[in-house]
Structure 1
Amino acid sequence: MNIFRDKESNVQSYARHFPVVFSSAKGSWLYTQDGQAYLDFLAGAGALNYGHNNPVLKQALLEYIEKDGLTHGLDMYSEAKAEFLDVLQRYILGPRELDYRVQFTGPTGTNAVEAAIKLARKVTGRSNVVAFTNGFHGCSLGALALTGNQHHRGGAGIGLNGVTRLPYDGYANVDGLALFEAMLEDNSAGMDKPAAVILEVVQGEGGLNVASNTWLRALASVCRRHDVLLIVDDIQAGCGRTGSFFSFEAAGIKPDIVTLSKSIGGYGLPMALVLYKPQYDVWLPGEHNGTFRGNNHAFVTAAKAITTYWSDEQFSHHIMERAKELKYALSQHVERYPTLFAKVKGRGLMQGIACQNGAIAERIARECFALEMVIETAGPEDEVVKFFCPLTISKEELATGLERFEQAIENLAPKLLAKAS
């Protein structure tokens, strides 16, 4: 451990919560260098939807590497890119009647968000962007301006401007959409007409807040009536995390722009992209650039992930079955310990249990780690224990994780309940 303490920056965060050295991983499990097994309910913060070292994806990657397939090619044409684009169209975009162009950005989610807001501003000629309370969109300056979390915003070192913040669905019992439309129609409201609205359908870092389908349709309607582009940030909630490939499918909306990263690469390989309607493809060649905007290894595993898991409804059905089991178990804890827990939040395999305060959530997450389970917290005060297992998790593995979580509660309950009273 000394090398990490001596050489690595103080900016590290996850290592502080999980202070062991991991050496290997498989499926839903992480293994330390001495062979200790931890059940993974973090899944790379959503980058490992198909689990660690997924054997199908690994084999496709190994075969590609063995034949000396192109690794790095900037944005040049490659067989791997062609295959990914073809598979994306055949299995994802086409069946959902989504007519999108595909832009490959730098390989992180914040790169995709930066490109999306730049494009919206270029298309409309307007600079203001509307974002929502508790939203999280990344930590580079443009994306950080859209992000609500003060801890992250505090690291900017500069003013974060060009954004109007509105209440998310259900926030403080305020009708944010009525406020938004009233401000758009009032020349004295003081809000510059925005180029775009950006939102997460399920707010991952913000506490697993879920936008209702009714609210999403109403927001899409407001944007359409006022010529404002609608951007859905599906970096964490997409690629099946909520049960369908895109988080917005149940609402029946078709966003103007969609950002994807994290699990779009399939194997945990860095990859990000922006989808947008063809009429908005107004970039000049090289106008938004980046050295690593064509990860061919990720193209290979991404294409394989889509053909393996999204060619029919079986995987989606599996996710929703596990989601029901998770929701039922968490609901039982809320009912049993109302002084510790407030409610179950989230959707699909993007759920969590809201504790009465952040201290309770932190104690429980720490006790889960002592019971060899990796799980994190989310929300404005880190008050939500966030269940983010790989989507490929088996019924038995999910049950094991829920048993360990229950054991953590039982271990802590006497002290927590005494303190609460």
Structure 2
Amino acid sequence: MNIIDRMESNVRSYCRSFPVTFKTAKDHLIIDEHGKAYIDFFAGAGSLNYGHNNDTLKSALLDYISGDGITHALDMTTVAKKRLLQSMQDVLFAPRSMEYKVMFPGPTGTNAVESALKLARKVTGRRNVISFTNGFHGMTLGSLAITGNSGKRAGAGVSLHDTTHMPFCDYFDAETDTIAMIENYLEDNSSGIDKPAAFILETVQAEGGVNVASKEWLRRIAELAKASGALLILDDIQVGCGRTGPFFSFEFAGIEPDIICLSKSFSGYGLPLSVALMKPEFDAFKPGEHNGTFRGHNPAFVTAATAIETYWRDDRLSKEVHEKARIIKDAFLEMADRYDGSVRGRGMIQGIEFPDTSLAGKISKSAFGRGLIVETAGPNDEVLKVLPPLTIEYDALKEGLRIITEAIHENLKAEVKTKTIVSAKP
């Protein structure tokens, strides 16, 4: 038995889907200990938008470390923090006429979500939070309470409360008006639903199956939140930082969330870092009322600032994301048309699903054998989800899609063959 099986907890999961030992990584490639290279369409679950060991970010990080820059500082002021905040103001906020205060709640996405929930409840004096079917917001208790997946919720081991789950955009079908449904619940004093402190949502439900909210739906939710005296919390942890094209995934809808949660690719390099952005009037915590030992991760401040300054001063990367998104969608639509599948997504988060819900996992396994890492999503892992680095070379993107196409052909042909044999039996 190897050291991993003998010593690491059974809770590990991704290593079971991709059962090799990795050693090095560069840009869109990750290489195992035997030298085999894999194209990475997983990108650290969306944490590596600029690829592995991006040269520009690595250089800035190495310079900072070699110069004995501060690593740990709690929430004390450092040069690295000042630079990041200035970059956010100059590159992200000012051009968009956005005004937000920045909170560093802790190193991971669920820390940002927990702080947002606490803040919304403190500001409004209410407890209930409206979240949405198939939403995923993290694995700590508050985040689990607003997460839809029953398997993940069951892991809490305690009751999860002070939340109401409502249907996401197109949850039933494209014709059902889920906003009107929610409005009716909130207007009915006998509905049993308490007035909400906040609405929390993802514009694209990544873990939930690559479910996309429409522009109209997002605008109406924003209006409903305001009308009901609730804050709108936008969880942009996986689909922000350029994943859908613009830096923030909600920009296309023209809405202004009250609180924005960012993590994953916000550091740019895969280093742990999260932020909760709140409108100034909601900056209500007293000093130390919400804190954490590792909320001052200065090496991540350095790479985050460098990523913002390198990639977001103009729209070149956004345009590139849209071009690559079209390549991905065209490849998926061809497969969907041939094998009765469905395609969904925005930007460089795309998903494909087939009538047989077990196929996504089989396709992922076949693709891995061919040198591609691609994961599944959805309540039953029924959606094959692609998350390549935004900076992936066009040839590598097309090669990864070719591998997926081969894996789909292999598994769908086997499925058709099996059905033919079964139907031929007397």
Query: What is the SS of the residue equivalent to 2:95?
Result: coil
Distance in 1 (alpha carbons) for counterparts of 2:140 and 2:12: 16
Distance in 1 (alpha carbons) for counterparts of 2:350 and 2:334: 14
Provide the residue aligned with 1:6 in structure 2.
6
Query: What is the SS of the residue equivalent to 2:272?
Result: coil
Distance in 2 (alpha carbons) for counterparts of 1:420 and 1:328: 28
Conserved 8 A contact 2:136-2:208: yes
Query: What is the SS of the residue equivalent to 2:310?
Result: helix
* CA deviation string 1:114-170 (max 9, x = no partner): 000000000000000000000000010000000000110110100000000100000
Provide the residue aligned with 1:73 in structure 2.
73
State the one-letter code of the partner of 1:138.
Answer: G
State the one-letter code of the partner of 2:99.
Answer: D
Provide the residue aligned with 1:95 in structure 2.
95
State the one-letter code of the partner of 2:129.
Answer: V
Distance in 1 (alpha carbons) for counterparts of 2:314 and 2:419: 48
The alpha carbon displacement at 1:419 in A equals 3.7
Please, which runs of 5 or more residues in structure 1 have no aligned partner? none
Provide the residue aligned with 1:26 in structure 2.
26
Conserved 8 A contact 2:233-2:258: yes
* CA deviation string 1:8-42 (max 9, x = no partner): 00000000000000000000000011110001000
Please, which runs of 5 or more residues in structure 2 have no aligned partner? 421-426
Conserved 8 A contact 1:357-1:381: no
Percentage of identical aligned residues: 53
Provide the residue aligned with 2:333 in structure 1.
331
* CA deviation string 1:348-388 (max 9, x = no partner): 00101112233111111100001011110001111110011
* CA deviation string 1:149-193 (max 9, x = no partner): 011011010000000010000011342211211122121111100
Residues 1:118 and 1:420: Cα distance change in structure 2 (over 3 Å): farther
Query: What is the SS of the residue equivalent to 1:358?
Result: coil
What are the equivalent positions in structure 2 for 1:22-421 lying under 5 Å apart? 22-173=22-173, 174-338=176-340, 341=341, 343-419=342-418
Distance in 1 (alpha carbons) for counterparts of 2:272 and 2:188: 44
* CA deviation string 1:364-419 (max 9, x = no partner): 11000010111100011111100111111111010100111111122223211234
Distance in 2 (alpha carbons) for counterparts of 1:400 and 1:283: 49
The alpha carbon displacement at 1:97 in A equals 1.2
The alpha carbon displacement at 1:420 in A equals 5.0
Query: What is the SS of the residue equivalent to 2:376?
Result: strand
Query: What is the SS of the residue equivalent to 1:363?
Result: helix
Distance in 2 (alpha carbons) for counterparts of 1:219 and 1:293: 31
Distance in 2 (alpha carbons) for counterparts of 1:60 and 1:353: 37
**Structure 1 stretch 48-57 or stretch 176-185: which is displaced more?**
176-185
The alpha carbon displacement at 1:256 in A equals 0.4
Q: CA RMSD, aligned part only?
A: 0.9
* CA deviation string 1:264-309 (max 9, x = no partner): 0011000000001000001010000100001100000000001110
**Structure 1 stretch 89-98 or stretch 49-58: which is displaced more?**
89-98
Distance in 2 (alpha carbons) for counterparts of 1:276 and 1:144: 22
* CA deviation string 1:197-233 (max 9, x = no partner): 0000000000000000001001111111121100000
Conserved 8 A contact 1:167-1:175: no
Query: What is the SS of the residue equivalent to 1:94?
Result: helix
State the one-letter code of the partner of 2:135.
Answer: G
Conserved 8 A contact 1:235-1:261: yes
Distance in 2 (alpha carbons) for counterparts of 1:418 and 1:355: 16
Query: What is the SS of the residue equivalent to 1:344?
Result: strand
Distance in 2 (alpha carbons) for counterparts of 1:390 and 1:60: 20
State the one-letter code of the partner of 1:227.
Answer: G
The alpha carbon displacement at 1:78 in A equals 0.3
Distance in 1 (alpha carbons) for counterparts of 2:171 and 2:393: 35
Query: What is the SS of the residue equivalent to 1:31?
Result: strand
Distance in 2 (alpha carbons) for counterparts of 1:266 and 1:363: 31
Distance in 1 (alpha carbons) for counterparts of 2:238 and 2:302: 21
Query: What is the SS of the residue equivalent to 1:308?
Result: helix
The alpha carbon displacement at 1:312 in A equals 0.3
Residues 1:70 and 1:420: Cα distance change in structure 2 (over 3 Å): farther
Query: What is the SS of the residue equivalent to 1:368?
Result: helix
Residues 1:100 and 1:413: Cα distance change in structure 2 (over 3 Å): same
TM (norm. structure 1) is 0.98
Conserved 8 A contact 1:355-1:385: no
Q: How many positions carry a matched residue from both structures? A: 418
State the one-letter code of the partner of 1:189.
Answer: S
